[in-house]
């Protein structure tokens, strides 16, 4: 008697499905290796994890300058020190009449730049303080305004209204009797009025207003002017350079390279991009500023040695010996 053979169709079906799954897995792997997705590329350079810390060897010190005209000599100078391992950015505004010596030349920062250029300014600062600048950036009025407007408004705390006494011409109407008739006569009279330049309180400045604020002569001395610049830049970075995407970071860098006079190159940015991303992702209010002190002598600002030492301490710069700063 012939027995009826049982059907094994389900075994064939399972085998077929498993084959398709394995084949799909290998095809997917090959496809991803040939055509990586955008997310895969970002992950390859991502440093936003709890285990990552930038190397202590990664440091950047920049000389930042500001002039009114693109081809003009800067009136404003500032050192910026970036240490991603410490999550620290320190700004040190410098008076334009700071006395420095470079090679066989001596004079103010303004004179040094005017006669020899940015490299001489950096060399003079190194000889005076022992702090070596890795790069420089010189903004002019328009490039500064454009960059601030690109990154966002900057908040500034002003204790009281900043006012200015101005003489204005006003028209005054008087009624006078002329030839037996009352007539209106208009006269011009000069009158002194108090004009509010910058209102007190927390203000949010666009690029042009911030430029006017930094460059305004408050008539309160050198240290006050330097503090205005230091606090404004500190607030700008602390508020606007947080949680930035890699696209935004690259855009800001390209803006600086294309619109300013700088020795910073895009290849420098590529090298620093991971730690810059780490800082913007993880650091909260990393900026601070320091105002150097000294004395005026013959129209120059002579930096005190103790202040130079404080500058080195803030930047974590150590001198090998006393000859390093001479």
Give the structural domain span for 83.
Answer: 60-161+199-325
Q: Classify residue 88: in a domain, yes or no.
A: yes
User: Which residues does 204 contact at the CB level (< 8 Å), separation at least 6?
Assistant: 153, 154, 155, 156
* Confidence at residue 188, expressed as pLDDT on a 0 to 100 scale: 81
* Confidence at residue 1, expressed as pLDDT on a 0 to 100 scale: 47
* Confidence at residue 16, expressed as pLDDT on a 0 to 100 scale: 53
* Confidence at residue 44, expressed as pLDDT on a 0 to 100 scale: 35
Q: Classify residue 12: in a domain, yes or no.
A: no
Residues 175 and 242 in one domain: no
* Confidence at residue 167, expressed as pLDDT on a 0 to 100 scale: 83
Low-confidence stretches of the chain (pLDDT < 50) are: 1-6, 27, 29-30, 33-34, 38-49, 325
Residues 127 and 216 in one domain: yes
Residues 212 and 72 in one domain: yes
User: Which residues does 93 contact at the CB level (< 8 Å), separation at least 6?
Assistant: 76, 77, 78, 226, 227, 229, 230, 289, 291
Residues 171 and 206 in one domain: no
Q: Classify residue 9: in a domain, yes or no.
A: no
Residues 256 and 190 in one domain: no
Q: Classify residue 46: in a domain, yes or no.
A: no
Question: What's the predicted TM-score (pTM) here?
Answer: 0.77
Domain count, the chain: 2
Strand partners for 262: 137
Residues 286 and 314 in one domain: yes
Q: Classify residue 72: in a domain, yes or no.
A: yes
Residues 155 and 172 in one domain: no
Q: Kindly tell me the burial class for residue 185, based on how many C-beta atoms sit within 10 Å of its own C-beta (0-12, 13-18, 19 or more).
A: exposed
**Of 195, 214, 248, which closes a domain?**
195
Residues 297 and 170 in one domain: no
Q: Classify residue 69: in a domain, yes or no.
A: yes
Residues 106 and 76 in one domain: yes
Residues 177 and 231 in one domain: no
* Confidence at residue 20, expressed as pLDDT on a 0 to 100 scale: 54
Q: Are 98 and 83 in contact (CB under 8 A)?
A: no
* Confidence at residue 27, expressed as pLDDT on a 0 to 100 scale: 46
* Confidence at residue 261, expressed as pLDDT on a 0 to 100 scale: 97
Q: Classify residue 305: in a domain, yes or no.
A: yes
Q: Are 66 and 138 in contact (CB under 8 A)?
A: yes
> Which domain CATH number covers 87?
3.40.630.190
Q: Classify residue 234: in a domain, yes or no.
A: yes
Residues 217 and 318 in one domain: yes
Residues 265 and 248 in one domain: yes
């Amino acid at each position: 008697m012939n027995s009826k053979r049982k059907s094994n169709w389900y075994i064939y079906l399972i085998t077929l499905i498993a084959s398709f799954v394995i084949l799909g897995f290998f095809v997917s792997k090959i496809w991803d290796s040939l055509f990586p997705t955008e997310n895969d590329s970002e992950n390859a350079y991502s440093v936003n994890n709890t285990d990552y810390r930038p190397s202590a060897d990664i440091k950047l010190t920049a000389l930042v300058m500001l002039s009114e005209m693109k081809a003009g000599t800067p009136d404003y100078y500032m050192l910026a020190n970036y240490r991603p391992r410490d999550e620290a950015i320190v700004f040190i505004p410098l008076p334009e009449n700071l006395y420095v010596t470079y090679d066989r030349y001596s004079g103010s920062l303004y004179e040094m730049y005017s006669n020899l250029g940015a490299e001489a300014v950096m060399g003079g600062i190194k000889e005076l303080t022992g702090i070596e600048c890795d790069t420089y950036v010189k903004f002019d009025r328009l490039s500064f305004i454009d960059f601030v407007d690109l990154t966002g408004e900057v908040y500034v705390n002003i204790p009281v209204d900043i006012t200015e006494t101005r003489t204005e011409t006003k028209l005054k109407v008087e009624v006078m009797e002329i030839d037996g008739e009352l007539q209106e006569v208009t006269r011009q009279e000069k009158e002194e009025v108090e004009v509010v330049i910058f209102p007190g309180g927390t203000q949010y400045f666009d690029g042009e207003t911030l430029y006017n604020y930094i460059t305004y002569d408050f008539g309160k001395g050198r240290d006050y002017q330097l503090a205005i610049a230091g606090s404004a830049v500190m607030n700008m970075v602390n508020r606007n350079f947080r949680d930035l995407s890699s696209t935004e970071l690259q855009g800001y860098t390209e803006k600086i390279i294309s619109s300013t006079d700088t020795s910073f190159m895009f290849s420098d940015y590529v090298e620093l991009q991971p730690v810059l991303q780490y800082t913007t992702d993880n650091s909260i209010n990393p900026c601070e500023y320091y105002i150097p002190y000294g004395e005026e002598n013959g129209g120059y600002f002579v930096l005190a040695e103790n202040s130079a030492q404080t500058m080195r301490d803030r930047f974590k710069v150590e001198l090998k010996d006393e000859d390093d700063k001479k």
